[in-house]
Structure 1
Amino acid sequence: MSTQTQTETIVLQTRASTEATPAENDTTQDSRPPDPKWMYAKILSAGLSFFVAGVNDGSLGSLIPYVIRTYNIGTNMIAVLYGTTFLGWLVAALTNGKITQYLDLGPILSLGAAIQVLAQVLRVWEPPFALYAVTFFLASLGQAYNDTHANTFVSALNGAHRWLGFIHAMYMAGCLVGPFVATGVASANVDSKWYLFYLFPLGVGVVNLAFVGGSFRDRMAAPTVRRERGDRTASNSALKEIKDTLSTPGVWLLSLFFFFFLGATITAGGWMVEYLVNVRNGDVKEMGYVPAGFYGGAFLGRLILAEPTHRLGERRMIFFYALLCVSLQLVFWLVPNIITEAVAVSLLGFFSGPFFATGISVGSKIFSAEIRSSAIAFVFVLGQIGGSVFPALTGIIAGKVGVKVLQPMLVGLLGAAGVSWLILPKDTALHQD
């Protein structure tokens, strides 16, 4: 999935953003909160936000061959793009708590959407490589504020596993569309103008910004938590929440799963095309479409497998999918046929599709309500480290021994993700809606 933030994404939402309006805090007779105002518009807005992130993240793998040749750099320099991406997530993690003291959900989402628009504006004129790298910092920072807060909002809804499946499927829809548009634009001329592709995510990003402002207009007021509790009380509460979060074993165990899973999927999406071009001698103009098979499979997997995964048991089904993914990755590695590899990649995307939303769903169940927001935030910060470190490491090693290192790297990461999922806490009911 290229430079993601599984973009699949970090949930940095703190308590201030997840708190509903007074009407939303009222519970019904069956102890379920009522649906928030304009719920479906908000869900669609969250889905569009994830689609924007998917277009951004899914396109990088198809553009890397052009980036390398345009800027005359080695594969090791691509690590810089993943490094600045992680820096964006890190800055968001450090500033998120302070921002949520002053801004409600609507302004935070709007801020994230606006920063992503700025990133695309800076890309459309073939900027110098240094500035191009900075745009990945901006894109991930914007995604951290926009997508992850939207994700946390959706995770608190009734039947959250279904809505999470939808918005994360929209992310994969963006990843599916991205390679098609990017490859089409990049290969349209003999002298490639690949950077013009960014006009597309720029346009979609502007629509996203407008949609966020409209659907979350009832959540634009500044939160009152800080003023009511006072600076010292709020600070002490935040420190206690962080301490309780870090002392919970389940937080570290789920972090391992996302560390390896995001590392595998982002590495695969980012380096797949370069591998097929250099190792399998594929045509760069055709190989750019192969990631679309991976993302298309993941899109269908997130839609089709969400419900059976929930009903048949999240623990056993995700581990079963992990075994299938390792097997398909071995086929991709050991069978030197581009058609076979394209099919294997598509199936790999399909069976890995439910991983992300299911991980969030399980996290919301194994963490107590007092630490849930900060715990999920911490889990995804560590997950994004994997999503930045492993693609960068692949690029550095590839600069020395070749991009063939991609395959053993992916087999190891997928296997580690399966094992880390298996050791999650077992004393929690993971089959309840």
Structure 2
Amino acid sequence: MSTQTQTETIVLQPTPHTEANTNENESTQDQSPPEVKWMYPKILSAGLSFFVAGVNDGSLGSILPYVIRSYDISTDMVAVLYGTTFFGWLVAALTNSTMTQYLDLGPILCLGAAIQILAHVLRVWLPPFGLFAVTFFLASLGQAYNDTHANTFVASLHGAHRYLGFIHAMYMAGCLVGPFVATGVASANVDSKWYLFYVFPLGVGIANLALVGASFRDRMASALTSSRRRERRERNASGGALKEIKETLSISGVWLLSWMVEYLVNVRDGDVKQMGYVPAGFYGGAFLGRLLLAEPTHRFGERRMIFIYAVLCLGLQLIFWLVPNIITEAVAVSLLGLFMGPFFATGISVGTKIFPPELQSSAIAFVFVFGQIGGSVFPALTGIIATRVGVQVLQPMLVGLIGASGLSWLILPKDAELHRD
């Protein structure tokens, strides 16, 4: 399937000038988006959606050693989990266009939240490995509907870089909380019952569904008007400009951190019950990075600042790789998270200024989904290679991905007004 085919299927919601249902004839002399009803509750809802996803994604690294031992599988079988995750995002890419022809934003967000709840319900007991793998398909499918649409909604708001920094920080907050809860549950008994951890994301997922339903209740129409359907079809048909998306590719190496615990246990001889907390250092740093560095990155220029962050990240990753000291590695990982934190949210923010308004919604959606697909492919590839040469392959792969990410930002146009409101 070509990239062109995939991009044509992802139209998530109206562009900013169609977001509000009222006051469409307001003055647009300042070219700012119209006021959105219940904007802050909706932003909070989007943040909680990302928090739920972060708890799910961030916990895998801490649970992975227990999964491998409970199911008595090799590291190459872990690639199955990332493969089913990939197919979840792929199915969402293929079905988004049809859904958005008939459903407004609210029902799609609720559907995504409900599918994630189903995934966690199936995990709270020790299911067969095949069913456990299927839950990753469901979780990624739900995230694709919930988070991608929430992300595109926030990207359409005035001052989007601040709100994007918040919701993506909430994702990292979930990634920070997830390893602590997962490691605490998994190490509580000699005979680990790690799967009981999923009671926690199940409860948060139910709260997410309730908040989505309340804050987006003005967008709960079951069917769209014919004029809005036609408008979305027209945006689907114009996919040529989406080739510019490659200019805002962001690193998917964050997802390879799910292999970090296994790396520290096998290569650095760390205690499996303690090493599960190490990824929390990265996620804590990334949480602070997305909150604290969003504004200076915006003010001093995204292109310049992200490249500087990438160089710092590359140096910290080399320290993690080459210095055989777990304390030093833990500090390096935390700082790595701090400087890597703004990457993804900044890429989305820049995309709102590079892409033409008529393509903005579908283009940003494709960037988001493409990043998640990459986040499934590279860990799976790591698992396959690790079976043959060991988990130490993680380090050169991360160095390569960070370097590629920094270089990708250099191809952004220098004369673009990339830090304007």
For the aligned pair, the TM-score class normalised by the smaller chain equals over 0.9
Instruction: Report the residue type matching 1:253 in the other structure.
Output: E
Q: 1:359 is matched with which residue?
A: 347
The amino acid that maps onto 1:265 is V
Distance 1:190 1:385 in 2: 36
Counterpart of 1:3 in structure 2 is none
Q: Quick one: which amino acid aligns to residue 241 of structure 1? A: S
Give the corresponding residue for 2:283.
Answer: 295
Paired position in structure 1 for 2:241: 245
Structure 1 letter corresponding to 2:245: V
Q: Please tell me whether the aligned partners of residues 46 and 147 of structure 1 are also in contact (alpha carbons under 8 angstroms).
A: yes
What per-residue deviation string (whole Å, max 9, x for no partner) do you get for residues 72-128 of structure 1? 000111111111001000000100011011111111100000000000000001110
Residue identity in the other structure for 2:19 = A
In the alignment, the residues of structure 2 paired with residue 100 and residue 216 of structure 1 have an alpha-carbon distance, to the nearest angstrom, of: 15
Task: Show CA shifts across 1:156-187 (max 9, x none).
Answer: 11111111101100000000000000000000
Contact preservation (8 Å) 2:90, 2:373: no
Asked if 1:266 corresponds to 2:255, the answer is yes
Give how far 1:221 is off. Answer: 1.2
Check 1:346–1:173 CA distance in 2 against 1; reply closer, same or farther (3 A cut). same
**Matching residue of 2:406:** 418
Q: Following superposition of structure 1 onto structure 2, how do residues 114-193 of structure 1 map, counting pairs within 5 Å? A: 114-193=114-193
Any conservation in 2 of the 1:241–1:370 contact (CA below 8 Å)?
Answer: no
Counterpart of 1:383 (choices 356, 368, 371) is 371
> Which digits, 9 at most, give the CA deviation of each residue in 1:58-81, with x for residues without a partner?
000000000000000001111111
Kept after mapping to 2: 8 A contact 1:17/1:100: no
Pairwise CA distance, 1:222: 3.4
In structure 1, the partner of 2:274 is 286
Q: CA-to-partner distance for each residue in 1:335-393, whole Å, 9 max, x for gaps? A: 00000000000000000000011000111111101111222222233323321111111
Matched, 1:62 2:66: no
Alignment partner of 1:312 is 2:293: no
How many pairs align? 411
Q: Which residue of 1 aligns with 2:201?
A: 201
- Kept in 1, the 8 Å contact 2:45–2:208? The answer is yes
What CA distance in whole angstroms lies between the structure 2 residues aligned with 1:72 and 1:158?
51
CA change 1:126–1:429 in 2 (3 A) is same
- Supply the AA of the counterpart residue of 1:14: L
User: Equivalent residue for 2:12?
Assistant: 14
Contact 1:183 1:285 in 2 (8 A): yes
Corresponding residue for residue 334 of structure 1: 322
Q: Distance in 1 between matches of 2:312 and 2:158?
A: 31
Q: Give percent identity, aligned residues only.
A: 73
* CA distance in 2 between partners of 1:412 and 1:121 (Å): 37
Q: 1:27 to 1:299 in 2, by over 3 A?
A: farther
TM norm structure 1: 0.91
Aligned CA distance change for structure 1 residues 235 and 347 (closer, same or farther; 3 Å): closer
Give the Cα–Cα distance (whole angstroms) in 2 for the partners of residues 366 and 33 of structure 1.
17
Normalising by structure 2, report the TM-score.
0.94
Structure 2 gaps, min length 5: 1-8
Aligned-residue offset at 1:22: 2.9
Q: How far 1:427 moved relative to its partner? A: 3.8
Opposite residue 190 of structure 2, the aligned amino acid is: V
Query: Which residue identity is paired with 1:281?
Result: D
Deviation at residue 38 of structure 1 after TM alignment: 1.1
| Deviation, structure 1 residue 16 | 4.0
CA drift of 1:426 comes to 3.0
- In structure 2, C-alpha distance between the alignment counterparts of 1:365 and 1:175, rounded to whole Å: 29
Q: 1:323-343 deviations in whole A, cap 9, x for unaligned?
A: 000000000000000000000
Q: 1:99 to 1:395 in 2, by over 3 A?
A: same
Residues 1:97 and 2:97 aligned together: yes
Residue pair 1:366, 1:425 contacting (<8 A) in 2 also: no
Task: State the Cα distance separating 1:240 from its structure 2 match.
Answer: 2.5
Distance 2:420 2:231 in 1: 33
How far does the alpha carbon of each residue in 1:207-260 deviate from its partner, in whole angstroms, 9 at most, with x for none?
Answer: 0000100011011113534x2377xx5686245322x234x4x22332xx33xx
Amino acid at match of 2:12: T
- What CA distance in whole angstroms lies between the structure 2 residues aligned with 1:422 and 1:77? 37
Task: For residue 29 of structure 1, report the CA deviation from its aligned partner.
Answer: 4.9
1:28, distance to aligned residue in structure 2 (A): 5.2
- The separation in 2 between residues aligned to 1:157 and 1:229, in whole angstroms, is 20
Determine the structure 2 residue equivalent to 1:348. 336
- Separation of aligned partners in 2, 1:235 and 1:32: 21
CA distance 1:24–1:205, shift in 2 (3 Å): farther
Alpha carbons 2:11, 2:236 under 8 Å: kept: no
Query: 1: distance between equivalents of 2:95 and 2:314?
Result: 37
User: Quick check: 2:104–2:224 contact (8 Å CA) kept in 1?
Assistant: no
Gap change, CA 1:17 and 1:211, over 3 Å in 2: farther
CA contact (8 A) 2:86 2:373 kept: yes
Over 3 Å counting, the alpha-carbon distance change for 1:236 and 1:265 in structure 2 is closer
1:46 Cα offset (Å): 0.6
**Secondary structure, aligned partner of 1:370:** helix
Check conservation: 2:303, 2:409, Cα contact below 8 A.
yes
Aligned Cα RMSD in Å?
Answer: 1.7
C-alpha spacing 1:228/1:308, structure 2 compared with 1 (3 Å): closer
